[in-house]
Structures are given as C-alpha cells and as structure tokens.
Amino acid sequence: MDLTINSRLVIPSNELKWRFSKSSGPGGQGVNKTDSRVELVFDIKRSSVFDPFHKKRLLERLEIRCVNGCLNIVASEERSQYQNRQLAMARLADLLQKGLKPPPKTRKATKPTRASQKRRVAAKKHRSVLKQTRQSKPSTDD
C-alpha cells in the first residue's frame, strides 16, 4: 500500500521495508504467538520520490532519528499487526511532513523604542517609590 504524504507526494510501497516481531505489550493468550510489533524502515537516501534538495533537508531535520540515512519507526501499542502498521505509516507521514516544511523565518533583532524605554523606567521608579513608602523608618523622637 502506497503512503500518501500530501497531494503531490506519494511514497510507493516498494520503498517501505517492514519488519515484524513479538510485541511486549498487551495481548492475552496470543501475546507470545503473534508478531504484532511493527518496524517500518524508510531509506531517505535511496528514495526516488525526493529530489536532492529535499533529501538533504530531511536528513538534516531528522538526523537524530536516522541511522545511515534510514528512518526507523516502531509501533507496538496496539494488539493487531494491521493497526500497528497503520500507526507506523501515519507516524512516518507526519515526520516527513514536518521534515519537509521550510525553516521558520529568522527573527530580525530590533531595539526597544524610546517610548517603551521611558515606560519601563517610569514603572521602575513608581515601584521604587511604592516600596519606599512601605518601609518603616525609625522615628527621631526616641
């Protein structure tokens, strides 16, 4: 089954590698019999779907999750292999969507305006006066 990332991007099923093993989670009597744990491996470097620019962006963004250019997704939360496969495919699609987004615009450093500086200083002076009025000063009558 092909994986749809967005309207223009579809990963063919032959680029997705699946591995199955016994899950450590819930499963009742069949827990030691069924291979419900799913591991989905997607090789970003060898993918024919992405151009070199997008491959580079994905490898930079998903560097922590990749091993030798391969993205590994593990799903073992559900009891059935089918549900875990669907979960793994959804996670892969989500990761690739986030990885392909352009980086956010860099913040341009600005100086505080003169009016904001005056407001800040005025607030500090007001606070200072308020604290001074609260202090109990010793009387000179003693």
pLDDT (mean) for 113-138: 93
CB-neighbour burial class of residue 72 (10 A; exposed 0-12, middle 13-18, buried 19+): middle
Query: Is the pLDDT reported for residue 67 higher than 70?
Result: yes
pLDDT tens, residue by residue, 81-95: 899 999 999 999 999
Which of 9, 106, 103, 85 is CA-nearest to residue 41?
85
Give the residue among 37, 51, 41 at the shortest CA–CA distance from 15. Answer: 41
> In the prediction, which pLDDT does 26 show?
60
Q: What are phi and psi of 54, to 5 degrees?
A: -70, -35
Q: Where are the domains of the chain?
A: 3-100
Q: Which fold has domain 3-100?
A: Double Stranded RNA Binding Domain (3.30.160)
Average confidence (pLDDT) over 111-132: 96
pLDDT score, position 111? 95
Q: What is the DSSP string of 74-119?
A: EE-SSSSHHHHHHHHHHHHHHHHHHHHSPPPPPPPP-PPPHHHHHH
User: How far from the centroid of its chain's Cα atoms is residue 75's Cα?
Assistant: 17
Model confidence band, residue 140 (pLDDT cutoffs 50, 70, 90): confident
**DSSP class of residue 11?**
E
Rounded Cα gap, residues 96 and 10, in angstroms:
11
